[in-house]
Amino acid sequence: MVVRRWAFAAPLLWSCASESGEAASSSSTGSSDALTSSSGSSSGSGSGSSSDTEPSATTGHATHVTTADSSGSGEASEGPPPVTFDVGTPELDLPDLPPPLCPCAENTERIHVVTTTGELWAFDPPTLEFELVVDLIALPGCATPQFFSMSLDRDGLAWLQFNDGTLHTLDINAPVACNNPGFVPPPELAITNFGMGFVSESVDNPCDSLFGHRISFGGIDSPGVGLLFEVDTDAVDVIGSYPTDFNRAELTGTGDARLFAFVDSVPAKLVELDKSSGATLSQIDLIGIDASTAFAFAAYGGDFYFFTGSDSNFSRSEVNHIDYDDSDDNGEQDITEIIPEVPFDGLISGAGVSTCAPSEPPPA
C-alpha cells in the first residue's frame, strides 16, 4: 500500500491524496518514492490504479508525508523528511472606515426626568425602574427652586429649563455642574417657558435638532395660536419658527425623525407635528390622562410614556403608557396606567429622551 499526501497551509493549504491498490516497486530492494500529480498514475512491477481527491482548504502548517511498503513484508521504509512551507500572510491595504455619524453617548437610550424638588432620574421602560442620577440642587449652577422642562441630546447633555425660562446643560455621565449656554430667544416671539425635545434630522441622518413649543397660560387652542421653533444648539439661537394650533405643549422626538407634542387640554392630546411647518399630522385624545397639575412625556420603542400628577398622591407623579404602534395587534392604541405612584417625592416636571432610544419595539 502506498499513501501519498500533500498539505499546504497558513493562510490557505491544499491537500491531495493518491492511493494504489497494490504497492509499486522500482527494483527488487528499492522503495517507491515517485510523486504523482493530481492527474497522474503510479506504475511498477505490480498492477493497480491511482485516484486523486479534489483539493480541500484547511489551516495549519504545510506537511508532506509518504508511507510505503516496498518489499511486501509489511515493513514501512523511511520516507523523505517532513517539509514545511511558510507562505506568509498577505498584507491588505484597507481604507479606514469613516466614524459613525453623531454617535450615542452612554446612557442616552434611557428616558430621563427632572422633578420639582430638583432631582434627575433615569427611567428604563423595559423594566419600569427608576434610578437616581444626581441631586441637582447640590451642584454649582443648578441651585434653583424648581425645574420646568428638560430634554436630552445624543451627546449625553441634559438640557434643563428653569422656571424663569433660562436654559442650562448638564452631562448626565459626569454630572458635576449646570452650565448656561446663553440661550436668549428673540423678544418678538414672546417665549418664556417652553416644552422641548430633540428629533433626528431624517431617517438616514441620526444627528439631532432641538425643537421648542411656547407655553402660553390662559386662552384656548385655536388655529395659529401656538408657536413651534427650532434651536441651533451650537449657536444657541432660534433658526426657525412656525405656528401651531395649541397653547401649551411638551415635545419629544424620535430616531426616525418624527416630532410629537403632548398637549395640555381637555382632553389631553397626543399630536404629531410637521417639524418643518408646525402643521398637525395626526391627533389622538388621551382619555384618562390629566395634564392639569404636571405634564411631561417621552417616546420609546414606538410608544409613549406620560408623566402626570398621581391620583393617589398629589406630591408625586404617575406614569401612563400608550401602545401607539398597536404592538399587541388588537386594533386599539390602549392607554394603561403602569405606575400609579413613582417611588420618590416631587412632581415630574420634565422628561427627555435622546434619538438614541429605539424607535421600534424590541423583537418578541
Residue carrying the nine cell digits 441651585:
143
Q: Which of 78, 168, 69 is nearest to 118 (CA)?
A: 168
Helix (H) and strand (E) counts for the chain? Answer: 0, 24
C-alpha to C-alpha distance for 95 and 117, rounded to whole angstroms: 52
Q: For the residues of 197-225, what is the DSSP string, one character each? A: EEEES-SS---EEEEEEE---SS---TT-
Q: What is the mean pLDDT of residues 213-221?
A: 90
The DSSP 8-state label assigned to residue 325 in this structure reads T
* SS (HEC) of 69-106: CCCCCCCCECCCCCCCCCCCCCCCCCCCCCCCCCCCCC
Buried b (16+ CB within 10 A) or exposed e, 169-205: bbebeebeebeeeebebeeeeebebbbbbbbbeeeee
The answer for residues whose C-beta is within 8 angstroms of residue 289's C-beta and 6 or more apart is: 267, 268, 306, 308, 320, 335
- The answer to whether 149 and 162 are in contact (CB under 8 A) is no
Query: Is 111-352 a domain of CATH 2.120.10?
Result: yes
Q: Is the pTM of this model over 0.85?
A: no
Domain ranges of the chain: 2-68, 111-352
pLDDT one-digit tens code per residue, 298-341? 999 999 999 999 999 999 999 999 999 998 899 999 999 999 99
pLDDT one-digit tens code per residue, 238-257? 999 999 999 999 999 999 99
- For 269, other C-beta atoms within 10 Å of its C-beta total 20
Which residues face 159 on adjacent strands? 151, 169
Question: Which three cell numbers mark 12?
Answer: 490557505
pLDDT one-digit tens code per residue, 102-124? 999 999 999 999 999 999 999 99
pLDDT one-digit tens code per residue, 40-55? 433 333 434 444 444 4
The SS3 of residue 136 is: helix
The SS3 of residue 137 is: helix
pLDDT surpasses 60 at 60: no
